[in-house]
Every structure is written in C-alpha cells, then in structure tokens.
Amino acid sequence: MYDFDAQNKALIQGVEADLAACFDHEFDTPAVIVEAMKYSLFAGGKRVRPVLMRQTALMMGGDVDSARALSCAIEMIHTYSLIHDDLPAMDDDDLRRGKPTNHVVYGESTAVLAGDALLNFAAETALTDIIAHPGRMEQSVRAYAELMKAAGIEGMIGGQVSDIQAENAQNVSKEELDFIHAHKTGALITAAVVCGGILGGAEEEELACLTAYGQNLGLAFQIADDILDETSTTETLGKPVGSDEKNHKTTYVTLYGLDASKKMLIETYYRAEDALRQLDRDTRFLSEMAAYVCERALGVSPDKISIDK
C-alpha cells in the first residue's frame, strides 16, 4: 500500500532543512528584520506548495535538487502573503498557525517589511540557484517566470485585490467568487505543480493536465477553508474562525450553504482525479494530497462519499 504520510513527512523534512539553510549565514542588515522573517516562515504550516513542487518534479522523472531552491521560494512567497493578509489594513487577524501574527509581535511597519523581504529573498534564492546551474537554465527560468506570474497581478495579488473589492458587496456571484479564489488561493497551488512539472521535464500535454489538477486542488483548498471557518475551532485551525464573517466576505458557504459547499468540494476532488488519470505517471501522491485537502473539511475521504457526478 502506498504510504502517503511517510512520503509527505520526508518531503516536509527536506523543505524544512533547505529553508533553514537559506538563513545559515550572516546578513548585513538589522537583526530584527531577519528575526521577523524567520518568525513567520518557521511558525509551522503544512508546506503543501513546496512539497507539491518537489513531488511533481520527481513524478515527472526529475529530482528534488532541480526543485530545491524554487520550492523554498514558493514557501517564502506564500508566507509573505500571510503576513500581509493578517495586517490591520487587510484581514486584521491576530493569530496564525497558533501563534500571534507577525504585526502583533513586531509591529505593523516591521511586518510589512518582513513580507517585502521574504518576497525579495524568494527571488534571490531562485535566481542564485539558476546562475549556479547553467545546465538546466532554460527549464529553471521558465519555472521561475511561472511562479512569479502566479504570485503577481494576474495571480495571487490580483485575487487579493478582487477579494478586498468584494468586501461588503451585495450579491457577489459564483463567477466573481471563483475568480477571487482561482487567483488568491489557486494560483500558487497551481504554480507549485506546474513548476514541478517544468523542472521534471514534463511535455506540454502533461503540463496541461497538471494545470487542471492544480486549479481544482486550489479550489478544493478554498472551499475546505470556507467550510472549516464555519465548522472548526480556533484551537484546531491555529487561526481565528469566523474571520470571513467579521470582514463581511462572501464565501462558498455563505453563497451556497454548508451542504452544497461540501458537495462542491467533493466534485472538485473528482475533477482533480480526472486530470491525474490523463497522466501516464505514478500520480498516487497527488491523488492522496487532493483527498487529504478535502478530508480536513469533510471528516472522511471524499472517495468514501457517493454523489451524483
């Protein structure tokens, strides 16, 4: 039987070690900014994005080394987005991963700069690796461009702007909600698997399948979060529940209700599975990851629930 947990744990351990190595030297900067960066980066988390990138590179016939630096970069970008998302000017949350948020500990100014620093350090980390390995430069540059686009105005930032604009809005449509979360949440998750595919030497047809998988996994991630915001506890999630309601945000649960949202979550799982079936590769890890994302909110693996597909 395939041991998803063991493989996931091994990949997470590798990510943790490589992230620590990124900071294993002296910085010519005030110590507080490095401390603030590390505070949020090493505060815990499931490391889903770097794990997906590394595993996809392996699945496509590459190796972890090719994805080592860029997978660290995607986690830095994700962490910076969380620091900024928690700021009083955004969602104004005081708890993240079970710890006080960055601005609560270091103040707003330093938190903003810690986020900025992580974004820049992500670019530095990726580009330094590209320069050091000219033999794989074409694939590495393409993957880097994919990641930065996903993090930018046509990806995560664009989704965040749309999310802010939708606050307090009446009658947010499904199309608008899908746009927000395909960009705010889904873009980096999709980039993780697509970048892994590029670094592993995937063909264009395979990248299309990975894109479809990533988009559905990203949507599943968001629907699951919306469900958990209604049904879980702060202690379990490590962040405040009910924050969407506090910030007057439309979610899949507020738009469709809890039962319909759970059905939508299961449907996204099956669409992700359909995309994986198009790949003549060992996709068991990616399949188990999709099930894991859904199971957090459903309490049971989605393939154990029968729906009309």
Q: What is the mean pLDDT of residues 36-41?
A: 98
Q: Are 149 and 97 in contact (CB under 8 A)?
A: no
| Choice between 215 and 169, residue whose per-residue pLDDT is larger | 215
Q: Are 172 and 255 in contact (CB under 8 A)?
A: yes
Question: How many Å is the Cα radius of gyration of the chain?
Answer: 19
* pLDDT reported for residue 26: 94
pLDDT at 141 over 70: yes
65-93 burial, b for 16+ CB within 10 Å, e for fewer?
A: ebbbbbbbbbbbbbbbbbbbbbbeeebeb
* pLDDT reported for residue 309: 47
Does residue 18 lie within any of the structural domains? yes
At 93-135, the pLDDT tens digits run 999 988 999 999 999 999 999 999 999 999 999 999 999 999 9
- CATH code, 263: 1.10.600.10
Structurally, the chain folds into a number of domains equal to 1
Show the domain range for 45: 4-304
Q: What is the mean pLDDT of residues 136-162?
A: 97
Does residue 42 lie within any of the structural domains? yes
* pLDDT reported for residue 2: 82
The amino acid at 266: I
DSSP state of 20: H
At 226-252, the pLDDT tens digits run 999 888 776 666 656 666 666 567 899
Across 101-206, where does the E strand assignment appear?
Answer: none
Q: Are 131 and 57 in contact (CB under 8 A)?
A: no
Average pLDDT taken over every residue of the chain:
93
Q: What is the mean pLDDT of residues 65-85?
A: 97
Does residue 236 lie within any of the structural domains? yes
Q: What is the mean pLDDT of residues 126-149?
A: 97
Instruction: Give the 3-state secondary structure of residue 100.
Output: strand
Kindly report the backbone phi and psi dihedral angles of residue 42, in degrees, each rounded to the nearest multiple of 5, phi listed first: -110, 25
* pLDDT reported for residue 106: 98
Does residue 309 lie within any of the structural domains? no
Q: Are 212 and 275 in contact (CB under 8 A)?
A: yes
* pLDDT reported for residue 23: 97
